[in-house]
Amino acid sequence: MNQQALFIGIIVTTLVILLLIASIVISVFIASRQRLQQDIKLSQMELTYEKELRQTELEVKEQLMAQVSRELHDHVGHTLTNMRLTIENKKIDYPEVENLFKPVEILLDEAALQLRMLSRSMNSDYLNGLTFQDAIQQETIRLQGISKMEIDYRPGTHIYPTVNKDQLLMSFRIFQEILNNAIKHSGAKKLLIRSNHSDYLLQVSDEGKGFDLQQTIATGKASGLNNMQKRATLAKLDLQIITAPQKGTSITLKVQNT
């Protein structure tokens, strides 16, 4: 009888210990799960904050560009107009030297044209009335007017119905940044531009000097590249940069699959 009672006591004790262990394991599991959920929630909050911060940063940049655009149009444009009027008056006063003013008039007309095109391209409202390809075409024309670089632009026929207004604006700003970098750093004589292809929204390639991408980023001097990546990430676009020293550069912008 005593042995039976002892055996029952051992079983009960074992069950109690197992229950305690199970309770501890369950408690640890629940605590870990709650901590994991909190970490996920915190990460989501951080991502949301970072996205809002980037959005605000880019909105401020767009507002600044729009303001500069208006200043260029109003003040510099006004100055060029006054210069043109001054020349016209001088031609009336001194008709014998009228031909001498023609080279200056040509330069003034070209400056006024470039100013209008630059002013429009800096103002996002200008893009509202254009398709993405039209905007690329206009910017390409502007580049040809200020650079000796040969431009080969071939628009595609693919249509991206899911691309929204913000994505098109970001894509255009990225395109402008690519052009700026190509003119300043590539040393290329020719630029290949493709848009609305079935495999990508935009692709810009050159056979210039190229560069070490990772090393350039590591130096902390890649503000242009960082701006492009920020815009692409915010607009849910995939930005791919393929380059190497003396191998040229190819930058491709794709619409993310949803």
The pLDDT tens digits for 4-20 are: 666 666 666 776 776 77
Q: What is the CATH number of the domain that holds 254?
A: 3.30.565.10
**How many independent structural domains does the chain possess?**
2
Q: In whole angstroms, what is the distance from residue 257 CA to residue 166 CA?
A: 17
122 and 136 part of one domain: no
Higher-confidence residue of 41 and 255: namely 255
36 and 159 part of one domain: no
70 and 123 part of one domain: yes
Give the pLDDT confidence score for residue 239 in this predicted structure.
Answer: 93
46 and 166 part of one domain: no
Identify the band that residue 3 occupies on the pLDDT scale cut at 50, 70 and 90.
low
66 and 27 part of one domain: yes
Out of 52-61, 99-108, 209-218, 222-231, least confident range: 52-61
Question: What angle (nearest 5°) sits at the alpha carbon of residue 169, between those of residues 128 and 151?
Answer: 100
Identify the band that residue 105 occupies on the pLDDT scale cut at 50, 70 and 90.
confident
The tokens describing 203, both together, are 């692709």
Give the pLDDT confidence score for residue 41 in this predicted structure.
Answer: 67
Per DSSP, the three-state class of 151 is strand
The tokens describing 239, both together, are 């930005």
Does pLDDT of 87 surpass 90?
no
Show which of 87, 103, 129 is a domain's final residue: 129
Does pLDDT of 201 surpass 60?
yes
The tokens describing 118, both together, are 């630059």
70 and 148 part of one domain: no
Does pLDDT of 30 surpass 90?
no
Does pLDDT of 56 surpass 60?
no
Question: What angle (nearest 5°) sits at the alpha carbon of residue 114, between those of residues 110 and 120?
Answer: 150
Cβ-based neighbour number of residue 108 at 10 Å: 16
Domain range for residue 147?
132-258
Q: Which residue has the tokens 């209008």?
A: 116
Show which of 129, 149, 172 is a domain's final residue: 129
Q: In whole angstroms, what is the distance from residue 258 CA to residue 162 CA?
A: 9
- Select, from the ranges 35-39, 85-89, 119-123, the one with the highest average predicted confidence (pLDDT): 85-89
**What pTM was estimated for this model as a whole?**
0.62
The tokens describing 109, both together, are 């007309």
2 and 96 part of one domain: yes
pLDDT tens, residue by residue, 217-255: 888 777 888 888 888 888 889 999 999 999 899 999 998
Helix (H) or strand (E) holding 236: none
Q: In whole angstroms, what is the distance from residue 130 CA to residue 144 CA?
A: 20
pLDDT tens, residue by residue, 144-199: 877 788 889 999 888 887 788 888 888 888 998 898 888 888 888 899 999 999 88
183 and 65 part of one domain: no
113 and 156 part of one domain: no
79 and 44 part of one domain: yes
151 and 107 part of one domain: no
Give the pLDDT confidence score for residue 82 in this predicted structure.
Answer: 72
Show which of 129, 156, 182 is a domain's final residue: 129
258 and 238 part of one domain: yes
